[in-house]
Amino acid sequence: MRVIIYDDGLGKLAPLTDLRPVFSVRTGAMTTLVRIEEMLTGDAEIAGLFVPDAIKLVLEDACDLPINNLPNGIDSVLLINGRCPIPPADITSIKPGTILVEKLSDSDQEAAVVYACVKPVVAMKILAGEIPTEGVTYTDTQMLLRRPWDIRRFRDAAINHDLEQLAKIPGTALPNNVHHRGSHPVVIRSGADIWPGVVFDSTQGPIVIAAGATIRPGAIIAGPVFIGEDSTIMDRAHIKAHTAIGPRCKVGGEVGGTIFQGLTNKAHEGHLGDSWVGEWVNFGAGTNNSNLLNTYAEVIAKATVRGSNERTGQKFLGAIIGDHVKFAISTRIMTGAVIHMGAMLAATAPVVGCVGRFTWCTDTGTTAFRLPRFLDTAKAVMSRRGIEPSDAYLDRIKELHTEASEASTP
């Protein structure tokens, strides 16, 4: 069976998807694409990816699969919407002609196909944004990401699923002078460096430490937790349950229920809870966020600066933080903040609500982060990890900056 994973470009998912397709977002210990690939059984294999044109060139730099082309000579194809973090376990067993559409209410204007096993001619119509009228089954269970805070909705199930799979692969023995309590496994891949005095608490779920990761002295890790390749957990850090840290991060302080896409620094003291963090983010020392209202009420948030307040369905919701965001020391981030890509926040007032792309905020006022200065900073930060941004990546940033400038013009 040929499988196509696609990004339909629907929902309001920035800043998660500014620099990547939706299926490349880390929604648990894995990205959605890796999770789906792991779930495929039998002769099912990913034959290609479909994405909006705006992100196509960026994806081509990081992917060997065919993009925006259906394979030739096939009778049917299985389409899986990349906004679906956790497809059904039997996804590759669905019968030809099956189409599942998420429609949460009769008036739902964001109804969309979740998956479909169809002939190529029907597949192309779905990929073009059509919802077929025949052979459709509707579900009123939310299976798709619609807003950036939906990461929190699917987080626990995704992390639990991923760790169950990852923990099946044996690791190395726990080193001496490390403390472990709990019945769930602690899996340490070869090449990870675990210092004396580390505490692993697996009473509530497994812990998986990837190759090349470093856990420094005094760190406490309470599963379920995933620490990605070449990431460092700093001295005396407290990493709490349902946290997934992508590759090449530095993480310290108190962190719980948070997903790091990767390549981000939160090396200092400070609390971060129930959040999603993009790449190339830097947290100044003492930066803290709130993940619970004092009233214990449902969090209300805005996906876009000019958008409407919306119910999130979440009582615990910290911040959604886009790529290349920078926080000065002692920054306070309020419950449910959505901080879009490229913002630089260095004010004594707390970060509240939705912050637009490339916002430059200090106590003297708010202005735009000028593009040349932003690009110089981004290149300098990336070069510290030995990474040079591609032309397509830089062009995408320029497009987003232009969009932000136009949106701010009265």
Give the residues of the chain that fall short of pLDDT 70. Answer: 409-410
Residues 6+ apart with CB under 8 A from 73: none
The distance in angstroms from the start CA to the end CA of the chain is: 51
192: helix, strand or coil:
coil
What is the C-alpha separation between 87 and 102, in angstroms, rounded? 12
What is the C-alpha separation between 78 and 188, in angstroms, rounded? 35
What is the dotted CATH code of the domain comprising 150-408?
2.160.10.10
pLDDT tens figures, 141-164: 999 999 999 999 999 999 999 999
Q: Where are the domains of the chain?
A: 2-139, 150-408
Going by C-alpha positions, the residue among 2, 161, 179, 177 that lies closest to residue 89 is 161
Structure confidence at residue 410 (pLDDT) = 54
CATH 3.60.20.10 correct for 2-139: no
Query: What six digits make up the tokens of 247?
Result: 């590759």
What is the C-alpha separation between 195 and 216, in angstroms, rounded? 5
Q: Whole-prediction pTM value?
A: 0.97
Structure confidence at residue 406 (pLDDT) = 82
Distances (CA, A) of 195 to 64, 130, 188: 38, 54, 12
Distances (CA, A) of 44 to 2, 32, 39, 320: 6, 17, 10, 34
Structure confidence at residue 61 (pLDDT) = 86
